[in-house]
Amino acid sequence: MNFKKLLTLGLCLSALSSLFVGCGSDESAQAAIEDVYTESGYPIIKEGHDVSISFFTGLRASVTTYKSESNPTTKHLEDLTGIKMDITETTNADKKQKFNIMMTGGDYTDVILDMWSSHSELALYGSQGIFIPLEDLIAEHAPNIQAALDKHPVIKDTWTLEDGHMYTIPRIGNSTHSEVSNRMWFNKQWLDNLGLDVPETTEDFYNVLKAFKEQDANGNGDPNDEVPLSGAITSGWNTNPIPYLANAFISCTNTSGYLNIDENGKVYYARSTDEWKEFLKYMNRLYEDGLIDPLLFTQTSDQLLKLGSHPGDVILGATTGGSVSVFANTTNYEVWNQYMALPPLEGPEGVCSAVRSPDYGSAVLSITNKCLYPEAVVRLFDYLYTEEGLIWSQFGEMGNAAIQLAKEGELNIIGEPAKYTRLPFDNVKDLSWNRMGPDYRPAFLP
C-alpha cells in the first residue's frame, strides 16, 4: 500500500472517529441534562444542580418587576421548582417591537412569555426550528395541561398548526367573564352626582353621555375636562366600543370578520345590512355632538390606561374592556370602584344582544431551540394549570392584600359557599404575575 493510500485511509478513520466522538459527546451532554430532573412532582431540579432558564416578557398592569427579589410569585416558583428564572422584562407597550428585534437578530431567550403570538408567528418560527414542538412534552410531563386540552379539544385544535405541532402552551380562560368580555363600563359615581338612572337603551346612553359632557359630572368645577366615551380600537382587551354599541342595532356577536348566522342558519355579513347603517348614524350623532373621544380611533391601550388613571380628578365617563384594569389603575380602589358594568343596551328596534367571544386560548408561551431544559419549563407551567398555581399567578400568596380564604357564610358568584374572597387593595404592586404566563381558569373560582 503506497503512502497516498495510507494517508487517505488515515484521514477517513480520523473523520469516522471524530463522528463517533461527537455522537458520544451529544449523548453524554443529553444524559447530563436529563440527570438534573427529579422523576416527577416538585422540585423539578435535583438538589445540588444549578439550572437557569431565560425568559422574555412584558410588564402587566400592577407589576413593576418579575425579578424574584421583588416579586413573590417568581420567588415561590423558584423555590418550588429549583429553577432560577432569569427574566428580561420590558414595558407592555414595547414588548412586541423588542420581541421582533430580538427574533430578527437571533439573540432570543430560552422562553417567550405573554407575547400573544399569532398563528402566522408560530408557524414562521416553528418552521424555522426556533420554536420547538410542545405536544409530546405536554403529554409526557404536564398532566394538568394535557387534561385541560382534553377537556377543551377546540383549544387544542386551535393551536395545533397545519404541520401537526403545537408551538405554544395557551392561557385558557374558560369563563363567562372571558367569553363576554366586550363590556361597557361607565362611571356610576358621575351618574349619582347628576341624579341620573342607569341607561337601558341607546337613547338613554346618548343622554347620559351628553350630561357627562355638559354638567360637570366629576364635580370639580370644570365643565370641560370630562371625556364622556373613549376606548382604543387599535389595541387592548376588548377596548373597542363599536361591537358593544353595534349589538343594539344588529346581532353581530362574532366581531372577527362580522360574519354571523341568523335563526334560519343563513350566514350574513353584519356590516352590509341596513341595521348597520342605522348604527353608523348613531355613532355619527355621538361623534358630532362631541361625546366620543376622537383619540378612540388612534390611541393605544396604554394611552387609554393613562386617561383612565388620570392624576387628580377622574375624567373618563365610559369605555369598554374585558376588565377595569385595562383602562384604570386597579391599585387605586377609590377610582376603580367608581365604574360599573352596563348590561347590553336596547336599540331603537328592540335589538339587545351581548358580544360573545368564545375562548380559544391565547398563545402566551413558546420555548425556543436555545432552551436546554424544555422539560423543566413544561413542568413548571403545569403547576399554573392547578387551582393553587392560578391563585399564585393571578393574585399571589394567599392572605395577602389581594385575596384571602372566604369566611363562613360568604357566597360566590353563583350563590354557593365561597372558597376565596378577593380584596380591594390600594397602591399595592408586585403581589403576583397578574396572569403573565399560561394558566387555566375554569368557569369560576370557588
Domain for residue 446, yes or no? Answer: no
Percentage of the chain beyond pLDDT 90 is 69
Q: Per-residue b/e over 124-158, b at no fewer than 16 CB within 10 Å?
A: ebbeeebbbbbbebbeebbebbbebbeebeebbeb
Q: What pLDDT, on a 0 to 100 scale, did the predictor assign at position 31?
A: 67
278 and 190 in a common domain: yes
Q: What pLDDT, on a 0 to 100 scale, did the predictor assign at position 337?
A: 85
Tell me the C-alpha distance between 346 and 368, whole Å: 49
Domain for residue 355, yes or no? Answer: no
Q: What pLDDT, on a 0 to 100 scale, did the predictor assign at position 361?
A: 84
311, 342, 373 - which closes a domain = 342
163 and 195 in a common domain: no
368 and 273 in a common domain: no
120 and 192 in a common domain: no
Q: What pLDDT, on a 0 to 100 scale, did the predictor assign at position 335?
A: 84
Tell me the C-alpha distance between 108 and 369, whole Å: 10
Tell me the C-alpha distance between 62 and 74, whole Å: 15
Contact 82, 90 (CB under 8 A): no
CB neighbourhood size of 79 (10 A)? 12
409 and 329 in a common domain: no
Q: Are strands 51-59 and 83-91 parallel, antiparallel or unpaired?
A: parallel
CATH number at residue 217: 3.40.190.10
Range of the domain at 105: 51-175+360-441
Using the predicted structure, report yes or no on whether residue 47 has a pLDDT greater than 60: yes
187 and 171 in a common domain: no
249 and 212 in a common domain: yes
Q: What is the pLDDT of residues 76-91, one digit of tens each?
A: 999 999 999 999 999 9
Q: Which residue has the higher pLDDT, 28 or 105?
A: 105
Tell me the C-alpha distance between 18 and 95, whole Å: 44
The region of weakest confidence among 71-75, 127-131, 144-148, 298-302 is 298-302
Counted domains in the chain: 2
82 and 209 in a common domain: no
Q: Check whether the bond before 43 is cis (ω within 30° of 0).
A: yes
CB neighbourhood size of 37 (10 A)? 19
The region of weakest confidence among 18-22, 31-35, 68-72, 338-342 is 18-22
Stated pTM of the model: 0.70
Q: Which amino acid type is present at position 176?
A: T
* Residue of 183, 170, 274 lying closest to 236 (CA atoms): 183
Using the predicted structure, report yes or no on whether residue 181 has a pLDDT greater than 50: yes
Q: What is the pLDDT of residues 96-148, one digit of tens each?
A: 999 999 999 999 999 999 998 999 999 999 999 999 999 999 999 999 999 99
- To the nearest whole number, what is the mean pLDDT of the chain? 89
Residues 6+ apart with CB under 8 A from 214: 223
Q: Per-residue b/e over 196-205, b at no fewer than 16 CB within 10 Å?
A: beebeebeeb
Average pLDDT over residues 268-280: 93
Which residues face 260 on adjacent strands?
A: 268
Q: Which residue has the higher pLDDT, 30 or 85?
A: 85
Task: Record the cell numbers describing residue 345, joined without a space.
Answer: 343596551
Three-class secondary structure of residue 228 per DSSP: strand
| Kind and range of the H or E run holding 183 | strand 183-187
Average pLDDT over residues 45-68: 95
329 and 198 in a common domain: yes
69 and 55 in a common domain: yes
Tell me the C-alpha distance between 403 and 417, whole Å: 16
257 and 189 in a common domain: yes
Q: What is the pLDDT of residues 330-355, one digit of tens each?
A: 667 788 889 999 999 999 999 999 88
